[in-house]
Chain A
């Protein structure tokens, strides 16, 4: 288990290093930062001085090393637009994004777990067919469109819930549904096929043979076995949802990391963009690490090896 954790940690670090490299390359692609920072009529000496100050006269590997050490300290430079350190700016907005992402995940599970279990238990019934249809439609609807439809029907037409902003729990509902919509399909299908296998297993037959109530066989004894494939999927789709927050936050004017980064792209506020990209990579890696480690808690067989 210890070695397994170390290996996962190393993989995570490599992934973050890779993300840093991508950001660094993109930064160099963005053209000469000196030209961007200096007034048009600056002299060649000014430019050279600026270059030296920014360390751009040093060899590329040295520059990358400086970039890495800065990144390790969380220093991605000042936001041009907000006049604040980019990382601080985004960390301030991170709770809002995480709140949205977890709410989305909660919604997805809230729908997928009963749908997946019931369509396995009642295979071929109307609920199974309905879930399948729902899954097909769900996978073809982009999150931002679901968001727009929710605003149109629930907020504008029915006036049930607010369409924009963050505040009460009511504000969270629509963005969470929009974000959680897409993973429902895959989670339902995975859970269904896992449950189908489990419900035909010898141990479920044994549990039936000793007279355990069917409801507790399904929802307690079988479902915990289905948790491993489900958690794997949660890991995969949580990453997907982190990407989704960028779009959903824009749709619902949610004051999180995603919307800030999208705005930064428009104002060419590069420090914020690179900090945002790295932040998502770090969150992604952490989430996957947590998922990997959680297997041990769900499945005792993994704990020992």
Chain B
């Protein structure tokens, strides 16, 4: 008998047996279904998180280099970085005049301020002091008005551009342009508002105010080290641009040849590493939970298959007497096990995806499911059934036909 017939007959018997034991099928299916549903719901959430994070990361710019006294993400040698000399305007100028790869060079400093408008107050808002080039490559876009310019900077003007959350909370639909807000008690005139940008990790880009960098240094303290945001003209030039930057800055800062760099060049990809470090452990736990759930489902399948084999001992004997080979019997039971599992997998997939969508709808978590995940869910369930069906199927096939026929 050919393999095709083996498979065909196995499938027919499997479906027949599933129909004949409806209640049992439903219960067994539920076990594996719950496993797959759990796994897929979590996977959906994770994929959603990843997608939104990658989107945010892209907004930082794939051609951006951030020169800073500090290395992003910190590290065990933070005290070394604390002793570094500050970056100042002469370093910004050096980069601006000497770099051949830079499309735009912006300077910025970062602090926090309490923002107030007619009695409404937002505390600990990110207050950025920026040069006019900052808008070119920072990822922000204007919603209304204008950005900070060189004249504002030279005059240390008290002007401010507001982030989307600040506008929403303090102005509640009113037009903020031309209004006066207070930053740590000092009045600033609103000249522009920023388009909504979103969050990344624990950073909320929309809860921010942007003022001229010199104004920032004058009002909030001159001790801050500057950050330099370099926008490289082409992605292919990133490595060369970074090498060039190192040279320019070492010369400008008079770093001795034997000394290490006394500044850090940060890239948005570093956030990816931080993100992966943060979420890696989470994924491992989730994968573990999913694995255990499927294991439990699989054991359920094995249990029910063993019962099925015992119940059908005589049937196996009859089939063997009439010419079924061991292989045929093995296939019959494997098909039955994987059919139950696949049905469970399909139901679990539907429930899991639905759950992910519901979670996405009622919580700030995003859910995204790639089509492959669905195939994976059903396929993986069938595989679990297959694996846990092997032992019962082998037991069925190895029954002695004489004993099996006599079984009561």
* A-B interaction: no
Q: List chain A positions with a Cβ less than 8 A from chain B.
A: none
Chain B residues with CB under 8 Å of chain A are none
